[in-house]
Amino acid sequence: MYIIVGLGNPGREYADTRHNMGFMALDILAARHNIDIRKENFRSVYGEGRIGTERVILAKPLTFMNNSGWAVRDLVNWFKIEHDQLIVIYDDIDLDPGDLRIREKGSSGSHNGMKSVIYQLGFDDFPRIRVGVGAPEGGRDLIAHVMSMPTGEALDKVKAALNDAADAAELMVSGRIADAQMRFNKKPKRKKKEEAKKAEAENAEQKGETKDE
């Protein structure tokens, strides 16, 4: 059995915002596997069903993002699952829009929802899927950024990433987390840019040495 938790904020005013990537990924999984997410308990709205042969709970905390840990703790304690049977899906401003990062364990980073989850559980060795939404640009306020909808090219990338996140969750539930990582964990674009700049600098330096000779 697996519990898949999507982090977000309840309410229409928060729907489709960057901070609700977890909720939206769960909606995709629910539609694919005919799971009705309407039961209310454990400080969550949730549904039960199967992905393949595996029983799953799909849950959206109703506690609002910063207190997500209350709901996750209630779910884990009631269903008595192992650490690696919990999968959490959430947004990440440190990843470019559309990038995914799948990890078997780790810290919360700068994400307040994950800080709450790890604090309330007392452990961090559970799988997670981070959906990149990009950092605010031009000095934009962080809260305004995550509480708004992406647009243009960023929106297209995020929509594709949500389907990828659902694909990754399906692989993880089938015990194939390594396959999910190989398929979806991409090298950060920032590093590629840095390496490109370094290569350009080295090429320019070599050209300069050639001219001097």
Is the residue at 7 inside a domain? yes
Is the residue at 194 inside a domain? no
pLDDT for position 196: 56
Is the residue at 86 inside a domain? yes
Is the residue at 203 inside a domain? no
Q: Give the angle subtended at the CA of 132 by the CAs of 127 and 137, to the nearest 5°.
A: 145
For the stretch 167-208, pLDDT in tens is 999 999 999 999 999 999 986 555 555 555 666 666 666 555
Positions marked catalytic: 19
User: What is the span of the domain harbouring residue 62?
Assistant: 2-186
pLDDT for position 110: 87
Task: Answer whether residue 213 shows pLDDT above 50.
Answer: no
pLDDT for position 157: 95
Tell me, letter by letter, the H, E, C secondary structure of the chain: CEEEEECCCCCHHHCCCHHHHHHHHHHHHHHHHCCCCCEEECCEEEEEEEECCEEEEEEEECCCHHHHHHHHHHHHHHHCCCHHHEEEEEEECCCCCCCEEEECCCCCCCCHHHHHHHHHHCCCCCCEEEEECCCCCCCCCHHHHHCCCCCHHHHHHHHHHHHHHHHHHHHHHCCCHHHHHHHHECCCHHHHHHHHHHHHHHHHHHHHHHHHC
pTM: 0.86
Is the residue at 71 inside a domain? yes
Task: Answer whether residue 134 shows pLDDT above 80.
Answer: yes
Instruction: State the total domains in the chain.
Output: 1
pLDDT for position 187: 67
Q: What is the CA 107 to chain-centroid distance, rounded?
A: 13
pLDDT for position 123: 97
Is the residue at 200 inside a domain? no
Looking up residue 138, the CATH number of its domain turns out to be: 3.40.50.1470
Is the residue at 201 inside a domain? no
Residue 76 burial by Cβ neighbours in a 10 Å radius (0-12, 13-18, 19+): buried
Is the residue at 163 inside a domain? yes
Give the chain's mean pLDDT.
Answer: 91
